[in-house]
Every structure is written in C-alpha cells, then in structure tokens.
Amino acid sequence: MPHADAEPLERVRTATAEPWWKGAAIYQIYPRSFADSDGDGVGDLRGIAAHLDHVASLGVDCIWISPFYTSPMKDFGYDVADYRGVDPIFGSLADFDAVVARAHALGLKVLIDQVYSHSSDQHPWFVESRSGRDNLKADWYVWADPKPDGAPPNNWQSVFGGPSWTWDARREQYYHHNFLREQPQLDCRHPEVQEALLDITRFWLDRGVDGFRFDAINFMMCDPALRDNPPVPNPVKRTRPFDFQHHIHNQSQPEIALFLERLRGVIDSYGDRFALAEVGGEQALTEMHEYTAGQSRLHSAYGFDYLYAEALTPELVARTVEHWRDAPDVGWPSWAFENHDAPRAVSRWVAPEHREQFARTKMLLLASLRGSIILFQGEELGLTQVDVPFEKLQDPEAIANWPQTLSRDGVRTPMPWRGDARGHGFTRGEPWLPFGPDHARLAVDRQNADPRSQLSFTREVLALRRRTPALRWGRLVIREAAQRQLVFDRSYGGRTVRCTFNLGDAEIPLRRNDGALMTTGLVLADALGPYAALLEEIE
C-alpha cells in the first residue's frame, strides 16, 4: 500500500520548494537479514521486493539498501568484487531492477551503498594490480616498499586489528588496507581510479536509483608520504591497536572534498538525486561539515554521535544540535540511532523493564530532530539486541577482537515477519544468524494486529512528521537540557511545536500548553512520567 499522507506531503513540497530528501525518513535494509525468498537462510532482493509494502506502510520516504554486489563476503558485501554486479546469493540485476520498480510504484525513493575507499582483493582491478609493477592498474591501489629491515612502511593500524599493511610476494611490496586484509585500499588520488568510480556512479543512476549512501568516505585517500600516525597520549583502556593512534595520515585528507565535488557534479546531472556520506572518527564533525559545505559537495552526512553513545541524554542531543546550526554556511544533517554497525538502542540505552516505553519515546525523539532521519530495519518493531554466542559469530571484527568488541551480528539478525512460523517468516531454512528469544512476540504480523504496538506507534509518529512542516524542516531551538529533561522548539512557517522529553526513570515537572499533538507514557497536568514525551503546538 502507498505510504500514508502522500498527497498532502506533495502539496507541502510544492508550496515550500524543499527537495524530497530534506527531512526525509529513510529506512535501511540489510539484505542478508530482511527477507529470504529461496529458503537458503540468507535474505535476497526478491525478498526485499516482496516486503516493500510493509516499508511503504510505515510512511517513510526512501529505502537505503546495504551492499548486494558481487563479493566473497569477507565483510558481508563491503568487500566488493564487482561494483556493477549482484552477488548470486542476493539474485540478479533483473531482481534489483524489480526492487527499484516496486519501490517507485509505492512512492519510495531508492538509495544504495557505494564503497569507494576499498575493494575486495578478488576484484579484477586488484588482481591485475598485484600481478606486477608495470601493468595498467599497477598504481590503482596503495602500494609501498618495506623498510630496510622488511617491516611495513609505517605504523598505521587496521580498524579490524593489526597493521594495515599486508606483504604481497608477487610485487615484493606491501599493500594498504584500513579494514580487512581482503579489502585493499584504492588509490583514490589516481585520475583513472576517480574516473572508474564516477562511471560506477553513472551505471547505477542509469538503472534508476535516487541516490547513494557513501560508506567510510573519509577513508578514500591517505597521506602520499605515508607518514606515521602520532600516538594517543595517556590513552584510556583500548580494545584495538587502531585506538592507540590519531588517524591523521591514513584518512581524512583534504583532497577528498575535491573529489566529492566531481561526484556531486555527476549526481546533479541526473536531476533530483541525493548523496549522503557516512563519516566516523576523531575528525568526523569537521569532515561532515567540509563534505557538505556549499552547493557543490554532498547533500548530507551522518556520523556516530548516537550510534556509539553509551546513553541518550539531553546534553548529547543539545550538543549535536549545536554542531548543526540552522545557518547558510552549515550543511544538512542526518541522524540514526541504530544501524548495521551499532547495537540496538533499546538494549543499549535503558534497562529491560523500560524498553517498551523507551522505544516509543526514542522513536518520537528521532522524528522530532532537525535533519533527515534513518531507521534501521526492525527498529519500527522495537527489536532488541541478540546475544550471539561466539561459535555462531559471523562478524570478522567481533571474531578478531573477541571478547572486547561488541558483535555487530547482534543487530544484524533476521527480521521476524511471522511470530508462529518456522524461521519467523524470514526463511524456510536455517537463518544465517539466530533470532532473539523475544523476537517472535515482536514479529510484524503480531504487531500489525495490535493498534497499541510499537509498529502502530511508529506509523503514527512518521505520519505526524510528514504532515507537520515544523517537524520536517523547521528550525530547532533548545529550551532546556537538564539531567533528564529535554525541551526544544521546532518552528516553520509561523507554527511552533514544543517537544518535551523525559529521558530518565523518574517523573519531571511539566508546564503544559493546550495544543497536544502526540504523547508517550504518563503525562499529568504538572508532571511527565519516566521515559515519556509530549509534543504540543504552541503558536
């Protein structure tokens, strides 16, 4: 079914001339875990197409599909062996085209991931590059000679553990990799590499996609002099060698922004498209602003402000709002509380007895923020993090850093579509990751039948955001950010919505107005209950 309020939203867009992506609600689909159509235990593109009615019913504007490209799956698709191909485990290019057609028929835009900082070591580019020092792609990756004693060229460390250099006997050189050794670093300074990446961008735009989410974009270039990274002085407890360094030379190079201008030029040539950057690391805020500056770079960026936060506090919200002021020189933010790399927020931020109530308030807070918002599949159900035992882990980072790193597998577990079905409607076979013990009762079919469910509430929240320009596009002003109490106003076109949140487990004082739009939890005349929220129109 088409998502709710589509026609009113179109009229608002026309009246305000805001682009579709500004303030959009984006739904992330992790293909391996969304829906399996052939019973092999792994989700696929046909499964996505068959379940897009559910996504559209939420009232989101857009889907973002994580990698489905040809890949040896060492990092589950983020190691790309063919940027123009679909891995057989997910289907075919025709299946992808069917997803795009179905999404567009439902009024949904389609974003796809692009991984331009590195490829798989099985990509034909790297196979040729490593074959010798005089082939046509010899310089398409970051290669370096060893030190006189045979050691790696410098002290750079991999995100996934150990030095970020691997010796290759064919060339008698080291190649650089910021992540797994099977993910060699492209030399994105090379003009031919840049042209190849721009051609890939055109390929998917020609197939009808509406934009891209660019993965780890600040890793695209490194210091050509290969200087050592400085150590972090007096570090607190670290879980990986990567955390002992300031990463100023293996990433975050100023020339990245110049390539993004070329990339934006290609994207703009296709009309009304959207480019979103993922940026992490010590300099993330600076880089997000740099990558979205003016009208010639990317449209928006998001980082890990909330994804890796240990607690959701008023101070955190106030700080992130301040970082993205509503000013001509500041880009447009995007926000996510959950994704495929971060633990489920309801398990991370509150005790089990508060999860059901908190899931509602968290969803309303996300929908009240200024920016575009991203929901990870299952977030609309209030899914909890799954404790995947070591023997069932698939995540290479978790396996390498066990037991220090919290496994990404716990958030990547399959979608429960039917509570009583074998495989919970996700698969007829054995799912590639286990379900959580409470996921059957949180399944889509059970929540669809309950008007008081988290799923029903998510639809109400997104419908409110869509029909309220102040929430979608309005200015945000913090009124109070106390220990537990968060109050801010969203204003647009002469209307103001006051948003009051209790992010603690005890009541807080409340001064009510008369224009209630939505509430969660206990709302009294003079108090707001634990983990409750109230949105009111005050002007």
Q: Which is it for the CA torsion 309, 61, 38, 97, positive or negative?
A: negative
pLDDT at 394: 85
**What's the pTM?**
0.95
Nearest Cα to 458, choosing from 358, 377, 381?
381
Q: Where exactly does CATH 3.20.20.80 map onto the chain? A: 6-117+191-466
DSSP string, 124-136: HHHHHHTT-SSST
pLDDT at 396: 79
pLDDT at 2: 33
pLDDT at 404: 65
- List the structure tokens of 149: 């004693």
The set of catalytic residues is 215, 278
Q: Do residues 433 and 388 touch, judged by C-beta distance below 8 A?
A: yes
Count Cβ atoms within 10 A of the Cβ of residue 122 and give its class: 0-12 exposed, 13-18 middle, 19 or more buried: middle
Count Cβ atoms within 10 A of the Cβ of residue 74 and give its class: 0-12 exposed, 13-18 middle, 19 or more buried: middle
CATH topology of domain 6-117+191-466: TIM Barrel (3.20.20)
Which parts of 115-160 fold into alpha helices (H)? 124-129
At 132-185, the pLDDT tens digits run 999 999 999 999 999 999 999 999 999 988 999 999 999 999 999 999 999 999
Q: Which residues pair with 495 in a beta bridge?
A: 492
Q: Where exactly does CATH 2.60.40.1180 map onto the chain? A: 474-537
CA angle 491, 372, 501 (to 5 degrees): 55
pLDDT at 405: 64
Mean pLDDT by 10 residues, the chain (539 residues): 36 65 98 98 98 98 98 96 98 98 98 98 98 98 98 96 96 97 98 98 98 98 98 81 94 97 98 97 96 96 94 98 92 97 95 97 98 98 93 80 76 97 96 96 97 98 97 98 97 96 96 90 94 94
pLDDT at 16: 61
CATH topology of domain 474-537: Immunoglobulin-like (2.60.40)
Q: Do residues 174 and 153 touch, judged by C-beta distance below 8 A?
A: yes
